[in-house]
A = this chain, B = another copy of it.
Amino acid sequence: MTDLAPPSPLRPSSDPAPAARLAVSAQARGTPATDLAGVHAWYRDAGRRAYTHVERVELDALTGWRRDPATGDIGHHSGRFFTIHGLDVHLPAAPIPRWHQPIIDQPEVGILGLLVKDIDGVPHLLMQAKVEPGNRNGLQFSPTVQATRSNYTRVHRGRPVPYLDYFRDTDRHRVLADVRQSEQGAWFHRKRNRNLVVEVNEDVEVLDGFRWLTLGQVHELLAEEDLVNMDARTVLSCLPFTGPALPADGDGFRLALLRSCSGDAGSLHPTSEILSWITRMRTMTDVHTRRVPLDGLPGWRRTPERITHQDGLYFDVIGVSVRAGGREVNEWTQPMIAPRATGVIAFLVSRIGGVLHVLVHARAEPGYHDVVELAPTVQGTPATYDALPAEARPRYLDTVLTARPGQIRFDAILSEEGGRFYHARNRYLIVETAPDTRAHPPDYRWLTVHQLAGLLRHSHYLNVQARSLVACLHSLAAAP
């Protein structure tokens, strides 16, 4: 068939062009046209014109929200948005095999949409400077659109979401990524959002609070504290990304990363083995969850201000009153999840045969749609483990916390979703270790970035923390 050109109605089943063009965009940084000084000035200016005032209020003082008299569950009067109820979790094989916790139930699939457009031959991403009540610093860079399904289907009226039509009618444009992905499985019960990247050719009006950035610029912002929000990071991770062409020489780490992105150099495990491993982990892991009333949840106490664990661990459920301003002023109240401490989220990476591999963990969380997802090597809150049995301490946590500076390839404090989580911050790390292909625990595997990218074309393989780290890994592929 190789000498036969495809007849007219046919197109190649896979198209490497978008990844190649995005590699050009990832390299576009540090030139006069892409200098970040202007972006920072614009961000500071946007911060002066858009603000949030957030005050803690008592849970029973939340206007528009009601506490169910029978269960104590907290829900909106309209039945919309989300509910907080209790969950009884049974994970027989885990160090802590059973617990109860509050959890957010938000069954709608929303949209996280990113618009891409060529400007002077370089693809640019339309980023938004968006305020969220849970952001410690107010504004963060978010994707073009963050919309609920109610916005999306126009079931109810309300202010139209700017640029939403590009993501409602995708047939008119080129779709670069379109996949449903989970969010925090420890805090959300089966929440997932549609991550959608759409490339347009037509003129796009740039509204106040929006700005075209190259992928390289966004990658630079990613290294700054609390600047690129979780919704942006998850969408970035789903972009087709193979990295720029291999340089003739250069930094050994970067070369190994580029080989890992391209996939041509192979991998420690063929992809069929990785898929089989995921199937086995999802088949053999037992997770049982049962919705229970928030009132009387074992181990948790309710005060007027918060619902809190008896040991002061994990997180609180709190109430906030929000006044957000920009072009228009909005006021509302809502419950939020407020973690008790900053977590650590880390990939261990290693050059194996000259190709960078990432050690991923097949992790069960109560809120996952399908038992287990691939998580970072380390994901946890060190302050919590001091109070728990030693076997609950995450494997590799101390490897990450005691890494020498030369091993640390990425290190930034980043925020989780500011619409539901209050000051939820994690230290995201990429730490290089010596090659070690010896037998690893059965729930860990070394994968290449190319293999992670293949999984990210499908839903529910990588958890939101791993997706953030994939975006961070991509950011290391550009020439320094």
Contact = CB atoms under 8 A, between A and B. Distances in A.
Interface of A: 1-2, 4, 6-15, 109, 149, 153, 170, 175-176, 178-180, 194, 246, 259, 262-273, 275-276, 279-280, 282-284, 352-355, 369-370, 435, 437, 448, 450-451, 457-459
A175 B276 contact: yes
A196 to B, nearest CB: 8
A464 to B, nearest CB: 17
Contacts of A4: 265
A196 B22 CA distance: 37
Contacts of A276: 170, 175, 178
A352 B6 CA distance: 11
Q: Which of A4, A179, A279 has the most CB of B within 10 A?
A: A279
Contact of A179 (B178, B179, B270, B279): B279
A273 B175 contact: yes
6 contacts: A1-B246, A9-B437, A11-B266, A11-B268, A149-B283, A194-B283
Contacts of A267: 10-11, 13
Contacts of A457: 272, 275
Contacts of A435: 9
B279 A459 contact: yes
Contacts of A175: 272-273, 276
Contacts of A176: 272
A10 B246 contact: no
A270 B14 contact: yes
Contacts of A271: 13-14
A4 to B, nearest CB: 7
Given A6-B353, A9-B268, A1 B180 contact: no
Contacts of A370: 369, 459
Contacts of A7: 353-354
Contacts of A282: 180, 459
Contacts of A12: 266, 270
Given A170-B280, A265-B6, A11 B178 contact: no
A459 B283 CA distance: 12
B355 A10 contact: yes
A444 B448 CA distance: 35
A263 B13 CA distance: 7
Given A6-B266, A13-B450, 14 more contacts: A9-B268, A9-B353, A9-B437, A11-B266, A11-B267, A13-B270, A13-B271, A109-B283, A170-B276, A170-B280, A178-B279, A180-B282, A275-B457, A275-B458
A1 B270 contact: no
Nearest to A279: B178
B279 A194 contact: yes
Nearest to A9: B353
A66 to B, nearest CB: 23
Closest 8 A/B residue pairs (Cβ): A7-B353, A178-B276, A10-B266, A10-B353, A6-B266, A175-B276, A1-B264, A178-B279
Contacts of A459: 279, 282, 370
Most B-side CB within 10 Å, residue of A175, A271, A457: A175
A138 to B, nearest CB: 31
A435 B437 CA distance: 52
A13 B279 contact: no
Given A270-B15, A275-B457, A280 B178 contact: yes
Given A180-B283, A279-B178, A279-B194, A272 B15 contact: yes
Contact of A275 (B178, B269, B270): B178
A457 B279 CA distance: 11
B272 A10 contact: no
A259 to B, nearest CB: 6
Contacts of A109: 283
A14 B176 CA distance: 23
Given A175-B273, A180-B282, A13 B266 contact: yes
